[in-house]
Every structure is written in structure tokens, then in C-alpha cells.
């Protein structure tokens, strides 16, 4: 093989000795084995891994697989790095150990140009370089590799928020809620409503004596035990009973006065006034009724008298 390539070189360059000046780290032409310019010694097909410079006479450092000499500073700068490393300002750095590995290897994989993890992160980490730990409040230490949001829920039912770092609303019974803040596990404390139980029931709702019973409906605030003192009505007891109700008391569902109307008013909510027409009608009605009755009495009396005379 060696003889063959030397022979080929001889044929192509016409001068075997010219190839003897080539650095052993010049890469050969795959077809004929020629490595460098026989006169200048410049490698014609690049350098072998780990070497650089025009004559491949520079040994690159560490994980660098090709390097060159900076024309301005004369320093050796790396141009590309081995697998598992990335380039930053002419030097090679290992990919973050928390970058996910390729299936076929155990090396963490990152973008060779800037170190960003290429296949997301190892469990428990997030961020571009996977160098931030998931919140300790994430269940199983699992979080979204990009946002850090806990994807398996929180370690305790009293924690909420994307990273499980907030406390549930104080309106939640036992202060327990899901990750969105909804008090789904135990419902609301007495006197509160809303999905996160942050709203108070109307102060006009009757508060039940049993502390476990709710004051108002947890989804729509409807008072569940009627209105205080029977003096309000409406689904959340926001309307006062009509002033014309006796004692200002009414049924909490309908507003109908509980004990009738005060003098001069009528209707279920005592909103209608007796009109003067009403009074006249009553007077005229009674007058006519009285007259009719009198006539009947007279007629009957006459009849009786006639019978007596016979
Ligand atoms: C409030 O919700 C309860 C239970 O879901 C329902 O029975 C009631 O009709 C609702 N009230 C109103 C005013 O929407
Ligand atoms: C209910 O009645 C009591 C006693 O009369 C009174 O102290 C209280 O203020 C009333 N509550 C409301 C909300 O009107
Ligand atoms: C009570 O009901 C009224 C009318 O239905 C509504 O405007 C008000 O927002 C309700 N209040 C609560 C606390 O739900």
C-alpha cells in the first residue's frame, strides 16, 4: 500500500523526494496520496485531526480537532471541536453534562457553535444550556426543558403556579388547590366562592351554624340558606325587601312580603298604592249594597203584612 502510494506520487509529481518535506500530519489526497506542495510544503488537503496551520505543524490543544494561527495575534485558535464540545472564542468547552445524550452515545450533545443543548435536557434541568435545576417543588423533579414549568404537578397540594412556587388561595379549604390555583381538592372555606375561592359570599347570606356547610354556592354565589333577618331577597340576597312590607320582611326567593303590606299598599311586594278610586268604589259599592238590602227588607215586610191582613 505504501509502495503503491509512493509510486503514484512519483507518477503525478514526477518527484518522490518533494513529498518527503510534507508534514506527517497533512491529510493525503484520497485518490493518489499526494499531501503537500513539493516546493512550499503547504498541505494541499488539510490536516489530520488535532493539527493545524498551513503546513499542519501546529498541534491543536485539548478537544480541538482543527486549529490555525491567528494572523493578528499569532495565537493558535481553534476552528472546530471534537464531538461533545463546543467552540467559544477559539477554545473548546465541554457540552453541559445536563444536555440530553444521543441515543447511540453517552456523550451529552450540544450545538458545536454555541453550546446550546441539541436534544433538550436531562431530567431535572431546563434552559438553553440545561444548566438550571427544575424547581424543587416540581413533583419528581420533572419540568419543561424550555420554560421550567413543572409538568408532573407539584410535590404538595398546597402549592400552585407553573413552577409550584406559590401558595394556594387562603379561601381554599385546607389551602389545597391544583396548579392553576383552582380549589378542586377540598372546595372553599365557609363563606368563600369562585374557582380559587378568593371571593366572599354576600354579607346578607345567612351563615349556617355548622361550620362545614357552605354559605353560598361555590360557582355562582347564590346564598344557600336564605337571607339574614328575612330582610333581603334575590339569588345572592343583594336586594332589600320593599319598605312597604310589614317589618320590611320578605321571602328570600321571590321578594313577596312575609307579613303583608303596611296600610295603603297592596300587591305581592306591596308596591301598589291603594288609589282614591279604590276607596270610592268601596264607598259606592257599600252604599248600593245597603240600598238593595233595605228594599228587599221592605218588600218582604210588605208581603208579610198583606198575608196577615188576609
Ligand atoms: C347556582 O348554581 C346552582 C348549582 O349549580 C344552581 O342550582 C342554581 O340554579 C344556580 N343559580 C343561579 C342564580 O345561577
Ligand atoms: C339582622 O338583625 C339583627 C338584629 O335585629 C341586626 O343586629 C343586624 O344588623 C341585622 N343584619 C342585617 C344584615 O341587617
Ligand atoms: C349578586 O347579584 C347581582 C344581581 O344578580 C350581581 O350584580 C352581583 O354581582 C352579585 N354579587 C355577587 C357577589 O355575586
Residue 222 CA to ligand 3 centre (angstroms): 9
Residue 192 CA to ligand 3 centre (angstroms): 14
Ligand nearest to the CA of 222: 1
Whether ligand 1 lies within 6 angstroms of the CB of 217 is answered as yes
138: in domain: no
Q: What is the pLDDT of residue 190?
A: 94
Q: What is the pLDDT of residue 160?
A: 97
Ligand nearest to the CA of 236: 3
Using CA positions, which residue lies closest to atom 5 of ligand 2?
Answer: 229
Q: What is the pLDDT of residue 212?
A: 86
Q: What is the pLDDT of residue 274?
A: 85
Q: Which atom of ligand 1 is nearest to the CA of 220?
A: 1
Q: Say how many C-beta atoms besides its own lie within 10 A of residue 209's C-beta.
A: 7
Query: Contact 57/35 with Cβ under 8 angstroms?
Result: no
Among candidate residues 183, 151, 152, the one with its CA nearest the CA of residue 167? 183
Q: What is the pLDDT of residue 278?
A: 57
260: in domain: yes
Using CA positions, which residue lies closest to atom 12 of ligand 2?
Answer: 228
Residue 239 CA to ligand 3 centre (angstroms): 10
Whether ligand 3 lies within 6 angstroms of the CB of 218 is answered as no
Query: Contact 35/43 with Cβ under 8 angstroms?
Result: yes
Whether ligand 3 lies within 6 angstroms of the CB of 238 is answered as yes
Residue 201 CA to ligand 2 centre (angstroms): 17
Q: What is the pLDDT of residue 234?
A: 96
Ligand nearest to the CA of 230: 2
d(CA 55, CA 37): 10
The number of distinct structural domains making up the chain is 1
67: in domain: no
Residue 230 CA to ligand 3 centre (angstroms): 18
Q: What is the pLDDT of residue 16?
A: 45
136: in domain: no
Using CA positions, which residue lies closest to atom 14 of ligand 3?
Answer: 221
Q: What is the pLDDT of residue 282?
A: 59
Burial 155-185 (b: 16+ CB within 10 A, else e): bebbbbbbbbebebbebbbebbbbbebbbee
Q: What is the pLDDT of residue 277?
A: 58
Residues in CB range of 268: below 8 A, 6 or more apart? 254, 255, 256, 257
State whether residue 303 is helix, strand or coil.
helix
Best mutation site among 229, 240, 241 for ligand 2, i.e. most ligand atoms within 8 A of its Cβ? 229
264: in domain: yes
Whether ligand 3 lies within 6 angstroms of the CB of 221 is answered as yes
- Supply the range of the domain harboring residue 257: 201-276
Q: What is the pLDDT of residue 18?
A: 63
209: in domain: yes
Ligand nearest to the CA of 193: 3
149: in domain: no
Strand locations in 9-157 (E): 51-52, 58-59, 64-69, 76-81, 85-88, 91-94, 125-126, 132-133
Residue 238 CA to ligand 3 centre (angstroms): 7
219: in domain: yes
Residue 189 CA to ligand 3 centre (angstroms): 20
Using CA positions, which residue lies closest to atom 13 of ligand 3?
Answer: 202
Whether ligand 1 lies within 6 angstroms of the CB of 222 is answered as yes
Q: Which residues pair with 101 in a beta bridge?
A: 108
Task: Point out the residues of the chain with pLDDT beneath 50.
Answer: 1-16
Amino acid at each position: 500500500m505504501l509502495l503503491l502510494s509512493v509510486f503514484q506520487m512519483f507518477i503525478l509529481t514526477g518527484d518522490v523526494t518533494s513529498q518527503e518535506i510534507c508534514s506527517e500530519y497533512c491529510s493525503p489526497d484520497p485518490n493518489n496520496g499526494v499531501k503537500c506542495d513539493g516546493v512550499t510544503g503547504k498541505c494541499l488537503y488539510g490536516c489530520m485531526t488535532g493539527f493545524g496551520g498551513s503546513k499542519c505543524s501546529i498541534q491543536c490543544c485539548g478537544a480541538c480537532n482543527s486549529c490555525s494561527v491567528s494572523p493578528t495575534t499569532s495565537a493558535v485558535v481553534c476552528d472546530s471541536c471534537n464531538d461533545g464540545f463546543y467552540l467559544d472564542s477559539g477554545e473548546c468547552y465541554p457540552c453541559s453534562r445536563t444536555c440530553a445524550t444521543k441515543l447511540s452515545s453517552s456523550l451529552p450533545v450540544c450545538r458545536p457553535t454555541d453550546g446550546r443543548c441539541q436534544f433538550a435536557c436531562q431530567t431535572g434541568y431546563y434552559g438553553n444550556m440545561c444548566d438550571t435545576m427544575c424547581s424543587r417543588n416540581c413533583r419528581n423533579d420533572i419540568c419543561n426543558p424550555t420554560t421550567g414549568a413543572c409538568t408532573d404537578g407539584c410535590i404538595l397540594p398546597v402549592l400552585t403556579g407553573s413552577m409550584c412556587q406559590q401558595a394556594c388561595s387562603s379561601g381554599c379549604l385546607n389551602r389545597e388547590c391544583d396548579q392553576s390555583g383552582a380549589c378542586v381538592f377540598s372546595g372553599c372555606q365557609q363563606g368563600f366562592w369562585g374557582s380559587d375561592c378568593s371571593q366572599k359570599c354576600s354579607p346578607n347570606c345567612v351563615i349556617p351554624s355548622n361550620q362545614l356547610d357552605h354559605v353560598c354556592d361555590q360557582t355562582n354565589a347564590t346564598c344557600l340558606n336564605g337571607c339574614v333577618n328575612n330582610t333581603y331577597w334575590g339569588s345572592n340576597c343583594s336586594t332589600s325587601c320593599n319598605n312597604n312590607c310589614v317589618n320590611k320582611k320578605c321571602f328570600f326567593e321571590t321578594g313577596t312580603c312575609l307579613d303583608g303590606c303596611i296600610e295603603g299598599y297592596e300587591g305581592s311586594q306591596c308596591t301598589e298604592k291603594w288609589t282614591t278610586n279604590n276607596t270610592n268604589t268601596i264607598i259606592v259599592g257599600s252604599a248600593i249594597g245597603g240600598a238593595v238590602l233595605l228594599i228587599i227588607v221592605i218588600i218582604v215586610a210588605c208581603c208579610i203584612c198583606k198575608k196577615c191582613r188576609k
